[in-house]
Protein backbone atom coordinates (compact mmCIF):
# COMPACT_ATOMS: atom_id res chain seq x y z
CA UNK A 1 0.00 0.00 0.00
CA UNK A 2 2.87 2.33 0.93
CA UNK A 3 4.51 2.03 -2.46
CA UNK A 4 1.18 2.80 -4.17
CA UNK A 5 0.87 6.04 -2.14
CA UNK A 6 4.43 7.10 -3.07
CA UNK A 7 3.62 6.54 -6.73
CA UNK A 8 0.49 8.70 -6.50
CA UNK A 9 2.48 11.41 -4.77
CA UNK A 10 5.16 11.20 -7.50
CA UNK A 11 2.68 11.73 -10.34
CA UNK A 12 0.76 14.45 -8.56
CA UNK A 13 3.87 16.44 -7.75
CA UNK A 14 5.20 16.34 -11.30
CA UNK A 15 2.09 17.72 -12.95
CA UNK A 16 2.87 21.02 -14.69
CA UNK A 17 0.27 23.72 -14.23
CA UNK A 18 0.29 26.71 -16.56
CA UNK A 19 0.89 29.91 -14.63
CA UNK A 20 -1.62 32.65 -15.27
CA UNK A 21 -0.50 36.03 -16.65
CA UNK A 22 1.24 38.29 -14.10
CA UNK A 23 -0.80 41.19 -12.69
CA UNK A 24 1.14 43.74 -14.80
CA UNK A 25 0.12 41.87 -17.97
CA UNK A 26 -3.54 41.74 -16.88
CA UNK A 27 -3.42 45.44 -16.03
CA UNK A 28 -1.91 46.33 -19.45
CA UNK A 29 -4.61 44.27 -21.18
CA UNK A 30 -7.41 45.93 -19.18
CA UNK A 31 -5.99 49.39 -19.88
CA UNK A 32 -5.46 49.03 -23.62
CA UNK A 33 -8.48 46.79 -24.32
CA UNK A 34 -10.44 49.49 -22.48
CA UNK A 35 -12.04 46.94 -20.15
CA UNK A 36 -13.34 44.71 -22.94
CA UNK A 37 -12.66 40.98 -23.43
CA UNK A 38 -10.69 41.54 -26.66
CA UNK A 39 -7.86 43.81 -27.82
CA UNK A 40 -8.15 45.16 -31.37
CA UNK A 41 -5.23 45.87 -33.72
CA UNK A 42 -5.53 49.61 -33.00
CA UNK A 43 -5.52 48.98 -29.24
CA UNK A 44 -2.50 46.69 -29.65
CA UNK A 45 -0.77 49.44 -31.64
CA UNK A 46 -1.30 51.90 -28.77
CA UNK A 47 0.16 49.36 -26.32
CA UNK A 48 3.21 48.75 -28.54
CA UNK A 49 3.93 52.47 -28.97
CA UNK A 50 3.15 53.72 -25.45
CA UNK A 51 4.18 50.78 -23.23
CA UNK A 52 6.77 48.98 -25.35
CA UNK A 53 8.51 51.98 -26.89
CA UNK A 54 7.98 50.84 -30.50
CA UNK A 55 7.96 53.41 -33.31
CA UNK A 56 4.73 55.05 -34.47
CA UNK A 57 5.00 53.14 -37.77
CA UNK A 58 4.68 49.69 -36.12
CA UNK A 59 2.37 47.39 -38.13
CA UNK A 60 0.03 46.22 -35.35
CA UNK A 61 -2.26 44.36 -37.77
CA UNK A 62 0.68 42.21 -38.96
CA UNK A 63 1.75 41.56 -35.34
CA UNK A 64 -1.82 40.56 -34.42
CA UNK A 65 -2.01 38.13 -37.36
CA UNK A 66 1.36 36.61 -36.34
CA UNK A 67 0.13 36.12 -32.77
CA UNK A 68 -3.12 34.44 -33.83
CA UNK A 69 -1.35 32.27 -36.40
CA UNK A 70 1.34 31.13 -33.94
CA UNK A 71 -1.17 30.52 -31.18
CA UNK A 72 -4.00 28.87 -33.10
CA UNK A 73 -2.19 27.43 -36.17
CA UNK A 74 -4.90 28.40 -38.62
CA UNK A 75 -4.54 30.49 -41.73
CA UNK A 76 -7.88 32.29 -41.74
CA UNK A 77 -9.33 33.94 -38.68
CA UNK A 78 -12.92 34.64 -37.83
CA UNK A 79 -11.85 37.25 -35.30
CA UNK A 80 -9.32 40.05 -35.55
CA UNK A 81 -8.66 40.69 -31.89
CA UNK A 82 -6.70 39.18 -28.99
CA UNK A 83 -7.91 37.58 -25.77
CA UNK A 84 -5.92 38.06 -22.55
CA UNK A 85 -4.38 34.59 -23.10
CA UNK A 86 -3.35 35.51 -26.68
CA UNK A 87 -1.83 38.74 -25.38
CA UNK A 88 0.10 36.91 -22.63
CA UNK A 89 1.35 34.27 -25.08
CA UNK A 90 2.54 37.04 -27.40
CA UNK A 91 4.47 38.79 -24.63
CA UNK A 92 5.99 35.46 -23.53
CA UNK A 93 7.06 34.47 -27.08
CA UNK A 94 10.82 34.82 -27.59
CA UNK A 95 10.28 34.80 -31.38
CA UNK A 96 7.62 37.52 -31.52
CA UNK A 97 8.73 39.67 -28.57
CA UNK A 98 12.52 39.38 -28.08
CA UNK A 99 14.47 41.59 -25.62
CA UNK A 100 16.83 43.04 -28.26
CA UNK A 101 16.63 43.77 -32.00
CA UNK A 102 18.01 41.11 -34.33
CA UNK A 103 19.03 43.34 -37.24
CA UNK A 104 22.24 45.27 -37.95
CA UNK A 105 21.48 48.86 -36.95
CA UNK A 106 24.85 50.46 -36.09
CA UNK A 107 26.66 52.77 -38.50
CA UNK A 108 28.98 50.40 -40.39
CA UNK A 109 30.80 53.07 -42.42
CA UNK A 110 33.44 54.09 -39.83
CA UNK A 111 37.04 52.71 -39.84
CA UNK A 112 37.54 49.20 -38.36
CA UNK A 113 39.21 50.73 -35.30
CA UNK A 114 35.81 52.17 -34.27
CA UNK A 115 34.35 48.71 -33.57
CA UNK A 116 34.62 45.93 -31.04
CA UNK A 117 35.22 42.79 -33.11
CA UNK A 118 34.24 39.23 -32.12
CA UNK A 119 37.72 37.68 -31.79
CA UNK A 120 38.94 34.11 -31.32
CA UNK A 121 42.23 32.94 -29.79
CA UNK A 122 44.07 29.81 -31.03
CA UNK A 123 40.95 29.20 -33.11
CA UNK A 124 42.16 25.79 -34.33
CA UNK A 125 42.29 24.04 -30.93
CA UNK A 126 39.59 21.49 -30.13
CA UNK A 127 40.20 21.57 -26.37
CA UNK A 128 43.01 22.50 -23.96
CA UNK A 129 46.12 24.44 -24.98
CA UNK A 130 48.63 21.60 -24.53
CA UNK A 131 47.39 18.23 -25.74
CA UNK A 132 44.20 18.74 -27.77
CA UNK A 133 44.01 18.16 -31.52
CA UNK A 134 44.31 21.00 -34.00
CA UNK A 135 41.47 20.99 -36.50
CA UNK A 136 39.38 23.13 -38.81
CA UNK A 137 36.22 22.04 -36.94
CA UNK A 138 36.43 24.67 -34.13
CA UNK A 139 37.20 27.30 -36.80
CA UNK A 140 33.99 26.42 -38.67
CA UNK A 141 32.03 26.41 -35.40
CA UNK A 142 33.38 29.85 -34.46
CA UNK A 143 32.52 31.35 -37.86
CA UNK A 144 28.99 29.95 -37.65
CA UNK A 145 28.60 31.73 -34.31
CA UNK A 146 29.62 35.05 -35.86
CA UNK A 147 33.29 35.19 -34.76
CA UNK A 148 35.10 37.57 -37.14
CA UNK A 149 38.78 37.16 -36.14
CA UNK A 150 40.39 33.73 -36.55
CA UNK A 151 43.90 33.12 -35.21
CA UNK A 152 46.23 30.57 -36.80
CA UNK A 153 49.72 29.65 -35.51
CA UNK A 154 51.73 28.66 -38.58
CA UNK A 155 54.87 26.51 -38.37
CA UNK A 156 57.02 24.53 -40.84
CA UNK A 157 56.09 20.84 -41.03
CA UNK A 158 58.69 18.22 -40.04
CA UNK A 159 60.25 18.15 -43.52
CA UNK A 160 60.23 21.99 -43.74
CA UNK A 161 58.48 21.95 -47.11
CA UNK A 162 54.91 22.70 -46.06
CA UNK A 163 53.00 24.72 -43.45
CA UNK A 164 51.15 23.31 -40.45
CA UNK A 165 48.85 24.95 -37.94
CA UNK A 166 49.60 23.98 -34.34
CA UNK A 167 50.22 25.37 -30.88
CA UNK A 168 54.03 25.50 -30.83
CA UNK A 169 56.14 23.70 -28.23
CA UNK A 170 53.17 21.65 -27.08
CA UNK A 171 52.03 18.17 -28.09
CA UNK A 172 48.95 19.37 -29.99
CA UNK A 173 48.43 17.36 -33.20
CA UNK A 174 48.85 19.64 -36.25
CA UNK A 175 46.42 20.37 -39.06
CA UNK A 176 47.45 21.52 -42.55
CA UNK A 177 47.16 25.27 -43.13
CA UNK A 178 45.49 24.77 -46.50
CA UNK A 179 42.66 22.81 -44.88
CA UNK A 180 42.01 25.65 -42.41
CA UNK A 181 42.05 28.25 -45.19
CA UNK A 182 39.58 26.29 -47.33
CA UNK A 183 37.21 25.92 -44.37
CA UNK A 184 37.45 29.67 -43.68
CA UNK A 185 36.60 30.41 -47.33
CA UNK A 186 33.60 28.08 -47.18
CA UNK A 187 32.12 29.32 -43.89
CA UNK A 188 33.45 32.89 -43.50
CA UNK A 189 30.15 34.60 -44.26
CA UNK A 190 27.59 32.02 -43.13
CA UNK A 191 26.64 34.10 -40.06
CA UNK A 192 27.64 37.63 -41.13
CA UNK A 193 28.57 39.45 -44.35
CA UNK A 194 31.18 41.59 -42.57
CA UNK A 195 34.92 40.98 -42.97
CA UNK A 196 36.84 38.08 -41.46
CA UNK A 197 40.33 38.89 -40.18
CA UNK A 198 42.89 36.08 -40.09
CA UNK A 199 45.65 36.81 -37.57
CA UNK A 200 48.72 34.74 -38.39
CA UNK A 201 51.22 33.74 -35.69
CA UNK A 202 54.12 33.46 -38.10
CA UNK A 203 57.02 31.08 -37.32
CA UNK A 204 58.13 30.59 -40.93
CA UNK A 205 61.20 31.00 -43.13
CA UNK A 206 60.95 33.37 -46.14
CA UNK A 207 60.42 30.53 -48.63
CA UNK A 208 57.49 29.21 -46.60
CA UNK A 209 56.10 32.73 -46.23
CA UNK A 210 56.12 32.88 -50.04
CA UNK A 211 54.27 29.55 -50.08
CA UNK A 212 51.66 30.93 -47.65
CA UNK A 213 51.20 33.98 -49.89
CA UNK A 214 50.47 31.64 -52.79
CA UNK A 215 48.02 29.59 -50.68
CA UNK A 216 46.17 32.72 -49.52
CA UNK A 217 45.93 34.17 -53.03
CA UNK A 218 44.75 30.90 -54.59
CA UNK A 219 42.28 30.04 -51.83
CA UNK A 220 40.65 33.45 -51.41
CA UNK A 221 41.25 35.13 -54.78
CA UNK A 222 39.26 38.35 -55.03
CA UNK A 223 37.90 37.94 -51.50
CA UNK A 224 41.35 38.89 -50.18
CA UNK A 225 41.69 42.56 -49.29
CA UNK A 226 45.13 43.78 -50.42
CA UNK A 227 45.86 47.39 -49.49
CA UNK A 228 47.02 49.63 -52.33
CA UNK A 229 49.63 51.32 -50.16
CA UNK A 230 52.11 49.49 -47.94
CA UNK A 231 50.93 51.46 -44.93
CA UNK A 232 47.32 52.41 -44.41
CA UNK A 233 46.75 55.82 -42.81
CA UNK A 234 43.26 54.72 -41.76
CA UNK A 235 41.53 51.35 -41.72
CA UNK A 236 38.66 50.83 -44.17
CA UNK A 237 35.14 50.34 -42.79
CA UNK A 238 33.27 47.05 -42.24
CA UNK A 239 30.81 48.24 -44.92
CA UNK A 240 33.60 48.69 -47.49
CA UNK A 241 35.07 45.32 -46.54
CA UNK A 242 31.88 43.25 -46.72
CA UNK A 243 32.61 39.67 -47.85
CA UNK A 244 36.37 40.28 -47.72
CA UNK A 245 39.18 38.40 -45.96
CA UNK A 246 41.86 40.48 -44.21
CA UNK A 247 45.30 39.25 -43.20
CA UNK A 248 46.96 40.57 -40.05
CA UNK A 249 50.46 39.64 -38.93
CA UNK A 250 53.89 41.10 -38.42
CA UNK A 251 55.57 42.07 -41.72
CA UNK A 252 58.82 40.17 -42.44
CA UNK A 253 60.94 43.30 -41.86
CA UNK A 254 60.05 43.21 -38.15
CA UNK A 255 62.16 40.10 -37.65
CA UNK A 256 65.28 41.86 -38.86
CA UNK A 257 64.66 44.84 -36.58
CA UNK A 258 64.23 42.52 -33.63
CA UNK A 259 67.44 40.71 -34.58
CA UNK A 260 69.34 43.99 -34.85
CA UNK A 261 67.93 45.19 -31.54
CA UNK A 262 68.70 42.01 -29.64
CA UNK A 263 72.01 41.00 -31.19
CA UNK A 264 72.63 37.42 -32.31
CA UNK A 265 70.50 34.43 -31.45
CA UNK A 266 72.56 33.55 -28.39
CA UNK A 267 71.71 36.88 -26.80
CA UNK A 268 68.04 36.66 -27.72
CA UNK A 269 66.79 35.36 -24.38
CA UNK A 270 68.56 38.15 -22.51
CA UNK A 271 66.84 40.69 -24.79
CA UNK A 272 63.47 39.13 -24.22
CA UNK A 273 63.82 38.97 -20.47
CA UNK A 274 64.45 42.69 -20.23
CA UNK A 275 61.03 43.28 -21.80
CA UNK A 276 59.27 40.90 -19.45
CA UNK A 277 57.63 43.45 -17.19
CA UNK A 278 56.32 45.45 -20.15
CA UNK A 279 54.92 42.77 -22.42
CA UNK A 280 53.56 40.28 -19.91
CA UNK A 281 55.56 37.15 -20.73
CA UNK A 282 54.29 33.81 -19.49
CA UNK A 283 56.56 30.84 -18.72
CA UNK A 284 55.94 27.85 -20.97
CA UNK A 285 54.26 24.86 -19.48
CA UNK A 286 56.82 22.50 -20.91
CA UNK A 287 60.20 23.68 -19.66
CA UNK A 288 61.09 26.49 -17.36
CA UNK A 289 63.47 28.16 -19.78
CA UNK A 290 61.16 28.06 -22.80
CA UNK A 291 59.00 31.10 -23.20
CA UNK A 292 55.32 30.53 -23.84
CA UNK A 293 55.01 30.59 -27.62
CA UNK A 294 51.72 32.40 -27.55
CA UNK A 295 53.22 35.82 -27.74
CA UNK A 296 51.24 37.06 -30.67
CA UNK A 297 53.31 39.72 -32.38
CA UNK A 298 56.16 39.42 -29.92
CA UNK A 299 57.51 36.12 -31.22
CA UNK A 300 60.83 36.42 -33.05
CA UNK A 301 61.59 33.40 -35.18
CA UNK A 302 64.28 32.07 -37.45
CA UNK A 303 66.77 34.74 -36.53
CA UNK A 304 69.52 32.84 -38.29
CA UNK A 305 67.89 33.95 -41.54
CA UNK A 306 69.59 36.99 -43.06
CA UNK A 307 66.90 39.57 -43.72
CA UNK A 308 67.54 42.70 -45.69
CA UNK A 309 67.10 45.92 -43.72
CA UNK A 310 63.77 47.51 -44.57
CA UNK A 311 63.12 50.71 -42.68
CA UNK A 312 61.19 52.42 -45.43
CA UNK A 313 57.47 51.69 -45.19
CA UNK A 314 56.97 51.77 -48.93
CA UNK A 315 59.89 49.52 -49.89
CA UNK A 316 59.58 45.78 -50.40
CA UNK A 317 61.65 43.23 -48.48
CA UNK A 318 63.09 40.36 -50.53
CA UNK A 319 61.73 38.12 -47.75
CA UNK A 320 58.53 36.97 -49.39
CA UNK A 321 57.40 40.29 -50.90
CA UNK A 322 54.20 38.66 -52.14
CA UNK A 323 53.44 37.65 -48.54
CA UNK A 324 54.14 41.13 -47.25
CA UNK A 325 51.79 42.68 -49.81
CA UNK A 326 48.87 40.69 -48.41
CA UNK A 327 49.22 42.05 -44.87
CA UNK A 328 46.48 44.67 -44.47
CA UNK A 329 46.62 45.05 -40.67
CA UNK A 330 50.24 45.29 -39.69
CA UNK A 331 51.29 44.11 -36.28
CA UNK A 332 54.49 44.46 -34.35
CA UNK A 333 56.12 45.24 -31.05
CA UNK A 334 57.72 48.69 -31.13
CA UNK A 335 61.11 49.31 -29.59
CA UNK A 336 61.05 50.79 -26.11
CA UNK A 337 58.47 50.60 -23.35
CA UNK A 338 54.71 50.86 -23.15
CA UNK A 339 54.58 54.65 -23.60
CA UNK A 340 56.40 54.25 -26.91
CA UNK A 341 54.15 51.33 -27.94
CA UNK A 342 51.02 53.43 -27.44
CA UNK A 343 52.19 56.38 -29.54
CA UNK A 344 49.71 57.41 -32.22
CA UNK A 345 51.72 57.82 -35.40
CA UNK A 346 50.43 60.32 -37.99
CA UNK A 347 49.63 58.74 -41.36
CA UNK A 348 50.09 55.18 -40.12
CA UNK A 349 47.83 52.65 -38.37
CA UNK A 350 48.84 49.36 -36.82
CA UNK A 351 47.91 46.57 -34.47
CA UNK A 352 49.43 46.02 -31.04
CA UNK A 353 48.98 42.85 -28.98
CA UNK A 354 49.11 42.61 -25.19
CA UNK A 355 48.52 39.71 -22.84
CA UNK A 356 45.69 40.14 -20.34
CA UNK A 357 48.20 40.89 -17.54
CA UNK A 358 50.20 43.31 -19.68
CA UNK A 359 46.98 45.22 -20.36
CA UNK A 360 46.08 45.27 -16.65
CA UNK A 361 49.54 46.60 -15.81
CA UNK A 362 49.48 49.19 -18.61
CA UNK A 363 45.99 50.29 -17.53
CA UNK A 364 47.35 51.28 -14.11
CA UNK A 365 49.44 54.16 -15.44
CA UNK A 366 48.56 54.52 -19.16
CA UNK A 367 44.75 54.20 -19.20
CA UNK A 368 43.97 57.27 -21.30
CA UNK A 369 46.96 56.56 -23.59
CA UNK A 370 45.46 53.16 -24.39
CA UNK A 371 42.05 54.70 -25.11
CA UNK A 372 43.64 57.34 -27.38
CA UNK A 373 45.69 54.65 -29.17
CA UNK A 374 42.57 52.54 -29.84
CA UNK A 375 40.69 55.45 -31.41
CA UNK A 376 42.82 54.97 -34.53
CA UNK A 377 44.86 51.79 -34.07
CA UNK A 378 43.84 48.25 -33.18
CA UNK A 379 44.61 46.66 -29.82
CA UNK A 380 44.41 42.91 -29.44
CA UNK A 381 44.31 41.35 -25.97
CA UNK A 382 44.97 37.64 -25.53
CA UNK A 383 44.72 35.16 -22.63
CA UNK A 384 47.78 34.58 -20.49
CA UNK A 385 49.76 31.45 -21.35
CA UNK A 386 48.95 29.70 -18.09
CA UNK A 387 45.31 29.24 -19.13
CA UNK A 388 46.12 25.70 -20.26
CA UNK A 389 42.51 24.58 -19.88
CA UNK A 390 41.37 27.19 -22.45
CA UNK A 391 39.63 29.34 -19.84
CA UNK A 392 39.11 33.07 -20.37
CA UNK A 393 39.51 36.38 -18.55
CA UNK A 394 37.13 39.28 -17.87
CA UNK A 395 36.64 41.09 -21.17
CA UNK A 396 35.51 44.36 -19.54
CA UNK A 397 39.00 45.74 -18.94
CA UNK A 398 39.76 45.50 -22.68
CA UNK A 399 36.46 47.04 -23.74
CA UNK A 400 36.70 49.90 -21.23
CA UNK A 401 40.03 50.82 -22.83
CA UNK A 402 38.69 50.57 -26.40
CA UNK A 403 40.44 47.28 -27.30
CA UNK A 404 38.82 46.05 -30.49
CA UNK A 405 40.10 42.46 -30.44
CA UNK A 406 39.55 40.92 -27.01
CA UNK A 407 40.66 37.43 -28.03
CA UNK A 408 38.89 34.49 -26.38
CA UNK A 409 39.19 30.70 -26.35
CA UNK A 410 35.84 29.90 -27.96
CA UNK A 411 36.05 26.14 -27.32
CA UNK A 412 35.54 26.38 -23.56
CA UNK A 413 32.68 27.83 -21.57
CA UNK A 414 32.08 29.80 -18.39
CA UNK A 415 30.93 33.23 -17.26
CA UNK A 416 33.60 35.18 -19.16
CA UNK A 417 32.55 33.55 -22.43
CA UNK A 418 28.88 34.28 -21.60
CA UNK A 419 29.82 37.98 -21.35
CA UNK A 420 31.63 37.84 -24.70
CA UNK A 421 28.61 36.19 -26.32
CA UNK A 422 26.37 38.83 -24.69
CA UNK A 423 28.37 41.74 -26.09
CA UNK A 424 28.16 40.31 -29.61
CA UNK A 425 24.42 39.74 -29.48
CA UNK A 426 24.41 43.49 -30.15
CA UNK A 427 24.01 44.89 -33.66
CA UNK A 428 22.14 41.85 -34.97
CA UNK A 429 24.95 39.47 -34.00
CA UNK A 430 27.04 40.49 -37.02
CA UNK A 431 30.35 40.34 -35.09
CA UNK A 432 31.02 44.12 -35.20
CA UNK A 433 29.74 46.41 -32.45
CA UNK A 434 30.27 50.15 -32.84
CA UNK A 435 32.26 51.54 -29.92
CA UNK A 436 30.34 54.13 -27.87
CA UNK A 437 31.07 57.82 -28.44
CA UNK A 438 32.71 58.13 -25.00
CA UNK A 439 35.63 56.00 -26.27
CA UNK A 440 35.99 57.99 -29.50
CA UNK A 441 36.08 61.51 -27.96
CA UNK A 442 39.40 63.13 -28.94
CA UNK A 443 39.01 66.24 -26.82
CA UNK A 444 38.19 64.65 -23.51
CA UNK A 445 39.73 61.19 -23.66
CA UNK A 446 37.79 58.68 -21.56
CA UNK A 447 39.53 57.72 -18.32
CA UNK A 448 38.47 54.19 -17.32
CA UNK A 449 39.64 54.84 -13.73
CA UNK A 450 37.70 58.09 -13.23
CA UNK A 451 34.87 58.15 -10.69
CA UNK A 452 31.79 59.00 -12.73
CA UNK A 453 28.25 60.08 -11.81
CA UNK A 454 25.27 57.83 -12.49
CA UNK A 455 24.22 58.41 -16.10
CA UNK A 456 21.22 56.07 -16.43
CA UNK A 457 19.15 53.76 -14.23
CA UNK A 458 17.99 50.35 -15.39
CA UNK A 459 14.96 48.78 -13.71
CA UNK A 460 14.48 45.07 -14.29
CA UNK A 461 11.41 43.14 -13.20
CA UNK A 462 11.55 39.33 -13.24
CA UNK A 463 7.96 38.08 -13.59
CA UNK A 464 8.14 34.37 -14.29
CA UNK A 465 9.83 31.54 -16.18
CA UNK A 466 8.67 28.62 -18.29
CA UNK A 467 9.89 25.88 -20.65
CA UNK A 468 12.06 23.72 -18.38
CA UNK A 469 9.53 20.88 -18.38
CA UNK A 470 9.83 20.83 -22.19
CA UNK A 471 13.65 20.91 -22.38
CA UNK A 472 14.63 18.75 -19.37
CA UNK A 473 13.64 15.34 -18.05
CA UNK A 474 11.28 15.40 -15.06
CA UNK A 475 14.06 14.06 -12.83
CA UNK A 476 16.83 16.36 -14.14
CA UNK A 477 16.78 18.80 -11.22
CA UNK A 478 15.24 16.72 -8.46
CA UNK A 479 14.33 13.03 -8.34
CA UNK A 480 11.15 13.35 -6.32
CA UNK A 481 9.71 16.83 -6.75
CA UNK A 482 9.55 19.77 -9.15
CA UNK A 483 12.48 22.21 -9.11
CA UNK A 484 13.10 25.14 -6.74
CA UNK A 485 14.17 27.84 -9.20
CA UNK A 486 15.63 31.28 -8.46
CA UNK A 487 17.00 33.93 -10.83
CA UNK A 488 20.22 35.94 -10.51
CA UNK A 489 20.29 39.28 -12.30
CA UNK A 490 23.08 41.82 -12.36
CA UNK A 491 25.45 44.01 -14.31
CA UNK A 492 28.88 43.39 -15.83
CA UNK A 493 30.66 46.52 -17.00
CA UNK A 494 32.57 49.38 -15.40
CA UNK A 495 33.78 48.35 -11.89
CA UNK A 496 31.40 50.84 -10.21
CA UNK A 497 28.41 49.28 -12.02
CA UNK A 498 29.12 45.61 -11.29
CA UNK A 499 26.64 43.88 -8.99
CA UNK A 500 24.58 40.66 -8.78
CA UNK A 501 21.18 40.30 -7.09
CA UNK A 502 18.82 37.36 -6.83
CA UNK A 503 15.15 36.54 -6.45
CA UNK A 504 13.73 34.34 -3.71
CA UNK A 505 13.57 30.66 -4.63
CA UNK A 506 10.21 29.39 -5.82
CA UNK A 507 9.70 25.91 -4.40
CA UNK A 508 8.34 22.91 -6.30
CA UNK A 509 7.30 24.70 -9.47
CA UNK A 510 8.15 24.10 -13.13
CA UNK A 511 6.64 27.50 -14.04
CA UNK A 512 7.99 29.74 -11.25
CA UNK A 513 6.48 33.18 -10.63
CA UNK A 514 8.74 35.65 -8.80
CA UNK A 515 7.41 39.16 -9.54
CA UNK A 516 10.56 40.84 -8.17
CA UNK A 517 12.06 44.14 -9.33
CA UNK A 518 15.69 45.29 -9.19
CA UNK A 519 17.23 48.71 -9.81
CA UNK A 520 20.72 49.17 -11.26
CA UNK A 521 22.34 52.65 -11.34
CA UNK A 522 24.85 52.81 -14.23
CA UNK A 523 27.84 55.13 -14.62
CA UNK A 524 28.87 53.68 -18.02
CA UNK A 525 25.59 52.30 -19.45
CA UNK A 526 27.14 52.17 -22.94
CA UNK A 527 29.37 49.23 -21.90
CA UNK A 528 27.05 47.53 -19.41
CA UNK A 529 25.80 43.98 -19.93
CA UNK A 530 22.74 42.63 -18.14
CA UNK A 531 23.61 39.21 -16.71
CA UNK A 532 20.76 36.72 -16.17
CA UNK A 533 21.15 33.24 -14.71
CA UNK A 534 18.61 30.74 -13.39
CA UNK A 535 19.64 28.11 -10.85
CA UNK A 536 17.83 25.35 -9.03
CA UNK A 537 18.34 25.42 -5.28
CA UNK A 538 19.90 22.26 -3.86
CA UNK A 539 20.15 21.97 -0.09
CA UNK A 540 22.83 19.28 0.03
CA UNK A 541 24.92 19.94 -3.08
CA UNK A 542 25.91 22.73 -5.45
CA UNK A 543 22.86 24.44 -6.98
CA UNK A 544 21.99 23.15 -10.45
CA UNK A 545 22.43 25.36 -13.51
CA UNK A 546 19.14 26.03 -15.33
CA UNK A 547 19.98 28.60 -18.02
CA UNK A 548 21.71 31.92 -18.66
CA UNK A 549 22.00 34.84 -21.02
CA UNK A 550 23.78 38.19 -21.22
CA UNK A 551 22.27 41.17 -23.01
CA UNK A 552 23.83 44.55 -23.90
CA UNK A 553 21.98 47.21 -21.87
CA UNK A 554 22.29 49.70 -24.75
CA UNK A 555 20.27 47.30 -26.96
CA UNK A 556 17.47 46.43 -24.50
CA UNK A 557 13.95 47.12 -25.76
CA UNK A 558 11.84 48.71 -23.06
CA UNK A 559 8.61 47.16 -21.81
CA UNK A 560 7.59 43.56 -21.10
CA UNK A 561 9.76 41.11 -23.05
CA UNK A 562 10.40 37.37 -23.40
CA UNK A 563 14.05 36.53 -22.67
CA UNK A 564 15.26 33.21 -24.12
CA UNK A 565 17.91 31.40 -22.05
CA UNK A 566 20.96 29.47 -23.22
CA UNK A 567 22.89 26.48 -21.94
CA UNK A 568 26.40 26.66 -20.46
CA UNK A 569 27.99 26.83 -23.92
CA UNK A 570 25.77 29.66 -25.08
CA UNK A 571 23.49 27.53 -27.27
CA UNK A 572 19.87 28.67 -27.08
CA UNK A 573 17.60 26.29 -25.17
CA UNK A 574 14.50 25.31 -27.18
CA UNK A 575 11.75 26.45 -24.82
CA UNK A 576 13.23 27.98 -21.64
CA UNK A 577 12.56 31.69 -21.26
CA UNK A 578 11.78 34.35 -18.69
CA UNK A 579 9.14 37.07 -18.82
CA UNK A 580 10.77 40.35 -17.77
CA UNK A 581 10.21 44.09 -17.92
CA UNK A 582 12.92 46.65 -18.70
CA UNK A 583 12.83 50.38 -17.99
CA UNK A 584 15.78 52.69 -18.67
CA UNK A 585 15.68 56.25 -17.41
What would the CATH number be for the domain defined by 112-440?
3.20.20.190
Q: What was the pLDDT predicted at 385? A: 82
Report H helices in 263-307. 268-274, 276-279
Q: What was the pLDDT predicted at 256? A: 47
pLDDT in tens, 490-511: 999 999 999 999 999 998 888 9
Residues above pLDDT 70, as percent of the chain: 84
Please tell me which residue in 89, 114, 121, 401 is annotated as part of the active site. 121
Domain boundaries, the chain: 14-91, 112-440, 456-584
Q: What was the pLDDT predicted at 231? A: 75
Does domain 14-91 bear CATH number 3.40.50.460? no
Please tell me which residue in 88, 167, 203, 469 is annotated as part of the active site. 167
| Residue 551, SS3 per DSSP | strand
* DSSP letters for 333-360: --SS-HHHHT---TT---EEEEEHHHHH
Q: Lowest-confidence range among 101-105, 249-253, 415-419?
A: 249-253
- Provide the pLDDT confidence category of residue 276 given band limits of 50, 70 and 90: very low
- Taking each helix axis from N to C end, the angle separating 84-91 and 60-72, rounded to the nearest 10 degrees, works out to 100
Q: Homologous superfamily of 456-584 in CATH?
A: C2 domain (2.60.40.150)
Alpha-carbon gap, residue 578 to 566, rounded angstroms: 11
Are the C-beta atoms of 453 and 525 separated by less than 8 Å?
A: no
167 is catalytic: yes
pLDDT in tens, 75-93: 555 668 899 999 999 999 9
Which of 156, 261, 158 is closest to 203 using CA atoms? 156
Domains 14-91 and 456-584 in one fold: no
Stretch 471-487: mean pLDDT, rounded?
A: 86
469 is catalytic: no
Report H helices in 136-190. 137-144, 177-187
Instruction: For strands 378-382 and 405-408, give the pairing.
Output: parallel
Amino acid sequence: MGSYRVCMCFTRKFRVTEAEPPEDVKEAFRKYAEGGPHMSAEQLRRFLVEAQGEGEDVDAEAVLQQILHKRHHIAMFTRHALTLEDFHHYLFSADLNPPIHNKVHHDMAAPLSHYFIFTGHNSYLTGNQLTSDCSDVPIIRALKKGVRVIELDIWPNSTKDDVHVLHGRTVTTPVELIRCLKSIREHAFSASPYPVVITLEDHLTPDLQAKVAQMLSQTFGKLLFCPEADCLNEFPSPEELKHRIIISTKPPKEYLEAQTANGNKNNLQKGKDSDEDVWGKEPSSLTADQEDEDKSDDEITDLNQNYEDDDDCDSRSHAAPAYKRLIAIRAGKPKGGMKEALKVEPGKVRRLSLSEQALEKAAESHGTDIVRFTQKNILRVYPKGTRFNSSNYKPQIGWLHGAQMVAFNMQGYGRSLWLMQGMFRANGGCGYVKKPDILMNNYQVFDPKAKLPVKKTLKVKVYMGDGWHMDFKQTHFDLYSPPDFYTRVGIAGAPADEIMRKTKKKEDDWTPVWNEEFTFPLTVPELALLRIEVHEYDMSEKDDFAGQTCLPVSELRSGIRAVPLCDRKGEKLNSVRLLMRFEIS
